Chain A
């Protein structure tokens, strides 16, 4: 795959609703009538998703740490589950995983070993505190954004 090339998951065209088509690049393009159920099935608005995307991109560029966010079930042993999820990342040693379970009201942050000299427990704790204070106010996206920002600011600048 060339740099800048866009790839999209393979979509079964016959399963798409009326008014939708798979374009030559593989992207799905569609229209809907006013009053119909929206096709966008993401639980977050595009404004929220853009905000997360910008935050992760900026933080990753600035710190050379792969910041990753997971939202979903963590179970009773949430810390172990978060470590397990962290180990499934493409480059776990250079990644920080922020795992949030909205149903269990818990957050787990796990950092990779290769960045341990910069990203220690103190920084992780800063991120968890920032996230929890926003979560208590009922704002999930705001909490995630501030957690990534505060941790990215707290890790020392990269030594080139």
Chain B
């Protein structure tokens, strides 16, 4: 093999494959998920989030009884 044949096989061929795949990847139509941003109309139904698995303290019998005359805090807000 001449030096030019070596260059063509070991550099030219991988380069060609890379270019073909790059063109394919860059021109492919990619659909991105539509995420919610505040201000849009909310159509996501109902979402509940909580860390229910992180509540082991009742298992150890340390559940607190409700103190008389104490009620939970509450607040409202608008924006």
Contact = CB atoms under 8 A, between A and B. Distances in A.
A69 B50 contact: yes
Contact of B28 (A34, A66, A111): A34
Interface stretch (A8-16, A23-31, A98-106): A98-106
B31 A66 contact: no
A111 B72 contact: yes
Contacts, number: 167
Nearest to A118: B73
B76 A61 contact: no
Given A35-B29, A70-B47, A106-B77, A116 B41 contact: no
B50 A66 contact: yes
Interface string B40-72: 111111111111101101100001111100111
A68 B76 contact: no
A89 B51 CA distance: 12
Tell me which of B35, B65, B72 has the highest count of chain A C-beta atoms within 10 A of its own C-beta.
B72
A67 B41 contact: no
Contacts of A18: none
Contacts of A79: 74, 76
A129 B77 contact: yes
A103 B33 CA distance: 21
A43 B44 contact: yes
B65 A114 contact: yes
Nearest to B39: A138
A89 B49 CA distance: 11
Contacts of A113: 66, 70-72
The 4 A-B residue pairs with the shortest CB-CB distance in the complex, in nearest-first order: A111-B72, A124-B75, A43-B36, A116-B70
6 contacts: A91-B55, A109-B73, A109-B76, A127-B75, A128-B75, A139-B38
